[in-house]
Amino acid sequence: MDKEFGRIITHLRKNKGLSQKEASAQLGISQALLSHYEKGIRECGLSFLVKIADFYEVSVDYLLGRTTNPNGSDTVADDIPDVENIEDVNRTKSNTYCMVNRKLLINSIAVIYSLLAEINNKKLSKNVSDYLTVSQYNMFRKIYSLKENNPSDVFQLNSISIDEYCNASLAFNNAKINDIKNNKSIEGISLSADKLFEQFSESYTSLHQMIKNAEKSISQNFKL
């Protein structure tokens, strides 16, 4: 059991409007012990894990960070908060470059997932998702580690070679995607600039600009 458990039960307690003293009294343990659980200093036993799951009316899997859905079922889109409603995102509005590129990438990824849904191939969707996820994860780790004394408890993998593992994972997923691409049993989608514009009228401008930005970066980096 890692520190994620402590963060989750702390969030649940605060969300319920309880102090540590009130929650510990209702759970039948000392405030000091609950504090240790919330800080990740001590691990609780199985019986308390079940008890606190019942107390907050969530699943054990949710407490252990194995699902984002409190009732323990598979995560669905409605379980994930809309980032546009998170106030902290407004910070990017003070930086035009970040705000513009954020919107370009979000809108472009929306097009990618719309096309994946239409193709309806689970392996392709998984490998594309894994590729994008690892890429974002790697960039987040780099930004997080710019300040050397930031605690590493956000991550479970703390290998000094994590960057190499990320690159290897990206290469693996890319190879799998290429295998799927070359599999003639999978039918692609007939696309063109006109068809993309017609199907994704609101997102097409972002997609087009993303393509231009990527090709410009590649051309500049490799003198193409």
Both 70 and 144 in a single domain? no
Confidence (pLDDT) at 62: 83
Burial (CB count <10 Å: 0-12, 13-18, 19+), residue 162: middle
Both 11 and 68 in a single domain? yes
Both 70 and 87 in a single domain? no
Packed helices 3-15 and 46-56: angle between N→C axes, nearest 10 degrees = 30
Tell me the C-alpha distance between 107 and 176, whole Å: 25
107 SS3 class:
helix
Burial (CB count <10 Å: 0-12, 13-18, 19+), residue 91: exposed
Please say whether the beta carbons of 9 and 62 come within 8 A.
no
Q: Copy the structure tokens of residue 153.
A: 């408890």
Model confidence at 108: pLDDT above 60 = yes
Confidence (pLDDT) at 192: 93
Confidence (pLDDT) at 71: 77
Domain boundary among 31, 56, 78: 78
Confidence (pLDDT) at 99: 83
Both 68 and 97 in a single domain? no
Both 65 and 158 in a single domain? no
Percent of the chain topping pLDDT 70: 88
| pLDDT band, residue 79 (cuts 50/70/90) | low
Average pLDDT, the chain: 87
| pLDDT band, residue 1 (cuts 50/70/90) | low
**Structural domains counted in the chain:** 2
Confidence (pLDDT) at 83: 56
Look up the pTM and report it. Answer: 0.71
Confidence (pLDDT) at 114: 96
Both 35 and 101 in a single domain? no
**More reliable by pLDDT, 103 or 166:** 166
Q: Which of 162, 161, 169 is nearest to 131 (CA)?
A: 169
| pLDDT band, residue 88 (cuts 50/70/90) | low
The arithmetic mean of pLDDT across residues 16-43, rounded, is 92
Tell me the C-alpha distance between 122 and 101, whole Å: 29
Both 155 and 49 in a single domain? no
pLDDT in tens, 122-163: 999 999 999 999 999 999 999 999 998 998 888 988 888 999
Domain boundary among 26, 44, 78: 78
Proportion of the chain in helix, strand, coil states, percent, rounded to 5: 70, 0, 30
Both 161 and 68 in a single domain? no
Both 72 and 98 in a single domain? no
Tell me the C-alpha distance between 125 and 214, whole Å: 22
Secondary structure of 114-145 in the HEC alphabet? Answer: HHHHHHCCHHHHHHHHHHHHHHHHHHHHHHHC
The arithmetic mean of pLDDT across residues 18-47, rounded, is 92
Q: What is the CATH number of the domain that holds 32?
A: 1.10.260.40
Both 176 and 103 in a single domain? yes
pLDDT in tens, 170-221: 999 999 999 999 987 788 899 999 899 889 988 988 999 999 999 999 999 9
